[in-house]
Amino acid sequence: MAFGRSDQPKMPKAIKLLIAGGFGVGKTTMVGAVSEIRPLRTEETLTDRSVGIDDLSGVETKATTTVAMDFGRISIGDEFMLYLFGTPGQERFWFVWDELARGALGAVVLADTRRLADCFPSVDYFERRGTPFIVAVNCFEGAPVFELAEVKLALNLGEDIPVLLCDARKRESGKEVLITLVKHAYGKRPMATVK
């Protein structure tokens, strides 16, 4: 029996997103929390050699760091399939960012209010590339709580950049962040390219 085009199952739209931000803000944690497949990780042990280079304040128990990327996948309804690429946070691995950013619809810049300035380089990077991004403040226990408007001001973000609170360990929270990013990124595209 022949099927017309409308009978064919609709394929979800594949979207590439980046999870970026400074060292130890919870990028690997977020990709792992939301991914529906076993996430790919490229963690290496932090050694004494990073003392004085990597700022471990607030994440003193952190034993490993991403050296290449995280990868995960999550579907949003039957419309979208999001492919998530977590970036390495340490500056010495930043050469990987250009490769990871290619073809990405947008980026989440994760921030930690104890080290807010650490997300400046990520914000600069996506502004320069013209990649749509949002800022998600990962709420660590004991971290100072700021109004979102204060975070926006501190980061000198444009009015149109969404800023929201999240818990990188929780699936629903991560999903909300990703949906906010997809909506924001599509909102910035000329209508003709939105399918």
Ligand X SMILES: Nc1nc2c(ncn2[C@@H]2O[C@H](COP(=O)(O)OP(=O)(O)OP(=O)(O)O)[C@@H](O)[C@H]2O)c(=O)[nH]1
DSSP 156: T
The partner residues of 123 in beta bridges, in order of sequence, read none
Q: Which stretch binds ligand X (CB under 6 A): 9-17, 59-67, 77-85, 120-128?
A: 59-67
Distance CA 185, CA 182 (A): 5
Helices (H), the chain: 27-34, 95-101, 120-129, 148-154, 171-187
Report how far apart the first and last C-alpha atoms of the chain are (Å, whole number). 30
| CB of 88 closer than 8 Å to CB of 23 | no
**Binding residue for ligand X, selected from 25, 34, 74, 136, defined by CB under 6 A:** 25
DSSP 6: G
Cα-to-chain-centroid distance, residue 107: 5
Between 19 and 182, CB nearer to Mg ion: 19
Site map 117..146 versus ligand X, x via CB under 6 A: ---------------------x-xx-----
User: Does 26 help bind ligand X (rule: CB under 6 A)?
Assistant: yes
Q: Which stretch binds ligand X (CB under 6 A): 9-17, 56-64, 115-123, 177-185?
A: 56-64
User: Among Mg ion, ligand X, none, what binds residue 118 when CB lies within 5 to 8 Å by partner kind?
Assistant: none
DSSP 144: P
**Binding residue for Mg ion, selected from 19, 25, 27, 166, defined by CB under 5 A:** 27
User: Does 27 help bind ligand X (rule: CB under 6 A)?
Assistant: yes
Residue 65: CB minimum distance to ligand X, A: 3
Residues that bind ligand X (CB under 6 A): 23-29, 59, 61-62, 65-66, 88-89, 138, 140-141, 167-169
